[in-house]
Amino acid sequence: MDILILAILIATGTFMLNAKEQRKRIVLLGSHLANYQIEKLMEALTDGYLRALGESTDERRSQIWSLLSTTESQLSEQFGRFAADFAKLDEDRTRVSRLALSIPFAEKILPALTFDMRKALAIHARGIAHVAQDTGHLTPKDRAYMMTAELFLMQHTCHWFCKSKTVATARMLARHQTPHEQLVASVSAETRKAYLALIKGG
């Protein structure tokens, strides 16, 4: 019975510490995002893509694609500034555990098993800009597909920072029916290479 009580106390303490750490991260990320309209622009962009793809005439699709290019540029500019702003934080506040599950103070206890959120956001900023500037000369449909993947992978990283990789992956499946592996495979080659090097190598 004593062992059971001890196990319950340890589990409860771990849960409470995790919750406290996660709240701090959510507040930290949210306080920086609050200065921008990134979420609003993302919603407008993804809704616009669906609307364009659903149009029956080429003329109407072209009109929507043209309008969306402005939204893409605005989103890219704002996310670039957000990433630069977040990069000013001290490293001890931006380390992310690469463990599947959240463990209190893992970034301090096991620093080798972490990556830097500042670097992750910089990678996402470059990826979003790459697609917005159409440096790959993609068709509008392919550009929409790649931009959506870049944005969803960035969302995954933000959820990972606030919670854990497991929670982030579950949220992507629940909200977008998209596995993490598919997101990684669908972004640009440059984003994929830099992202995998960061999350696997710390």
pLDDT in tens, 41-79: 999 999 999 999 888 888 888 888 888 999 999 999 999
pLDDT reported for residue 202: 47
Could you give the dihedral angle defined by the CA atoms of residues 147, 148, 154 and 157, in that order, rounded to the nearest 10 degrees?
-140
pLDDT reported for residue 107: 67
* HSE-CB of 80 using CA atoms within 13 angstroms: 12
Q: Is 133 helix (H, G, I), strand (E, B) or coil?
A: coil
What is the pTM assigned to this prediction? 0.87
Tell me the pLDDT of the chain averaged across its residues: 87
pLDDT exceeds 80 at position 196: yes
For residues 132 and 73, the answer to whether their CB atoms sit within 8 Å is yes
pLDDT digits (tens, 9 = 90+) for 138-189: 898 999 999 999 999 999 999 999 988 999 999 999 999 999 999 999 999 9
pLDDT reported for residue 8: 60
For residues 168 and 96, the answer to whether their CB atoms sit within 8 Å is no
* HSE-CB of 154 using CA atoms within 13 angstroms: 29
Residue/partner pairs of 12-17 with CB below 8 Å, 24 or more apart: 14/103, 14/104, 17/104, 17/105
pLDDT reported for residue 80: 97
For residues 82 and 128, the answer to whether their CB atoms sit within 8 Å is no
